[in-house]
Amino acid sequence: MAANNTLTAIAVQAGVSVSTVSKVRNGGTDVAPATRARVAALLRQHGHQVVSPGGFGVVDLLIGGLHGPWSEELLRGAVEAGDELGVSILVTTADSRAEYGKWLERAATRGTSGVLSVLREPSAADLRKLARAKIPLVLIDPPREPTVFIESMRIRSVGTTNWQGGLTATRHLIELGHRRIAVICGQEGLWSSQARLEGYRAALAEAGLRADERLVCHGSLSPDGARYVTAALLDRADPPTAIVAGNDGQAFGVLQALGERGLRAPDDLSVIGFDDVPIATWASPPLTTIRQPLAAMAATALRLLLSGSAEPHHIELATSLVIRQSTGAPSFGQ
C-alpha cells in the first residue's frame, strides 16, 4: 500500500499515469527516454530500484573480433564502467553482416539497454531494426568520418584525436632531430588511419620539411603488416632514421625487422607506436607511443548510451605522447 501510494505521488509529480511509473520501475521499453529519465530519478529519490529498460541491466558490446590487446582494453573499460553504473556487459563478436543480424534478433528478443558497436557502422537496414526495437546505439572508433545522420537516423560515436596523435608523434621525432621520417598507415579508407596520416603531414609542414611520398607506406595494423614494409624501407639507398607506426602492433613489427638484421631501436632507428596498449611496455625496448585512452573511450560511450541524450553526436578523447625507450636522437647521417 505504502509503495503504491508513492507510485501515485510520483505519477502526479511527473505528470504521467501510474502505469507509466510502474513501467519505468520494471524496465518497460515503451516509454520516451526523457519521460523515463524524469520518472526514474523520482523513483530513485523515493528509494525504489529501477530496472533498466530491457528487463535487466545489460548493455551489449559488439566487437569484430577479440584478437588483440586493443579490443581487450575497450572491453575492460566497458566492464569497469558498467560495474560502476550497475549494468552488466554482454560481449558478442560479429564480423559479418549475417552475424550482426543474428545478434540483433537475439538482443531484440531478450532485451538490452543498448549497444556499443566497436569499429562497425550498422547498415541502414540494421539501423532501422535497432530503432524499431528501441535499442540505443553508440559507435566506438567509427570506421568512417563521424556523421550526425545515416539516412535519417542520428548516430552517436566516441573516438580519439587521431589527427592530433599523428601530429604529436611526428613532432616528437622532429624534435629529436629526425628529418627522414617514414610513416606506416593502416588499411586505406580507415578513418582513423587517414586522420593520423594527415597529422604526420601537418607536422612535417610545420617544421618546413618536405614530405617524401616514398616514405608513406601502408600495411595491415599488425606486426606482419609492418615487418615487410620496414625491411623494404631499410633496403633503400636513403633509409629513414625514424618510423611513425600505425599502431603498437606495427611498432612491434618494426622492432622485429630491425632484430632480423641485428639492429636495435633507438640506436639504429627510432619507432613510435599508437594506442599504448598495456603490452607496449613488453617490447624490447619498451615502446614510445601515442596513448589512445581506450578504456576511457568505452566508459564514455557507455555513459553516452545510458544518458539517452542526442548531443553531442561525437566525442573525441585526447591522445597523449608516452615517451619510453624506442625513440631517440638519430645516430647516423641526415
Nearer to a second copy, 22 or 93 (CB): 93
CA–CA separation, 274 and 272 (whole Å): 7
From 7, 11, 58, 158, residue interacting with a second copy (rule: CB under 8 A): 58
Residue corresponding to grid cell 524499431 = 132
Nearer to a second copy, 76 or 201 (CB): 76
Footprint on residues 98-157 left by a second copy (CB under 8 A):
106, 110-111
C-alpha cell at 317: 578523447
CA–CA separation, 293 and 276 (whole Å): 8
With contacts defined by CB under 8 A, name the span among 76-84, 153-161, 196-204, 205-213 that binds a second copy: 76-84
CA–CA separation, 38 and 32 (whole Å): 10
CA–CA separation, 75 and 241 (whole Å): 36
With contacts defined by CB under 8 A, name the span among 113-121, 146-154, 156-164, 255-263 that binds a second copy: 255-263
Query: What is the three-class DSSP state of 254?
Result: helix
Told to check if 258 binds a second copy by CB under 8 A, we report yes
With contacts defined by CB under 8 A, name the span among 83-91, 161-169, 203-211, 312-320 that binds a second copy: 83-91
Among 58, 142, 145, which Cα is nearest to 106's? 58
Nearer to a second copy, 56 or 191 (CB): 56
Residue 139's beta-bridge partner residues? Answer: 117, 157
| Amino acid found at 63 | I
From 282, 318, 323, 331, residue interacting with a second copy (rule: CB under 8 A): 282
- Residue 217 φ/ψ, nearest 5 degrees: -120, 160
Rg value, the chain, Cα: 24
Among 291, 284, 292, which Cα is nearest to 252's? 284
Nearer to a second copy, 106 or 144 (CB): 106
Told to check if 285 binds a second copy by CB under 8 A, we report yes
CA–CA separation, 327 and 269 (whole Å): 8
Q: How far is the CB of 287 from a second copy (least distance, A)?
A: 11
Nearer to a second copy, 70 or 200 (CB): 70
From 165, 219, 240, 249, residue interacting with a second copy (rule: CB under 8 A): 249
Told to check if 80 binds a second copy by CB under 8 A, we report yes
CA–CA separation, 250 and 233 (whole Å): 14
With contacts defined by CB under 8 A, name the span among 53-61, 118-126, 171-179, 198-206 that binds a second copy: 53-61
**What residue ranges bind a second copy (CB under 8 A)?**
56-58, 65-69, 71-72, 75-76, 79-80, 83, 88-93, 106, 110-111, 223, 249, 252-253, 255-256, 258-260, 262, 264, 278-279, 281-286
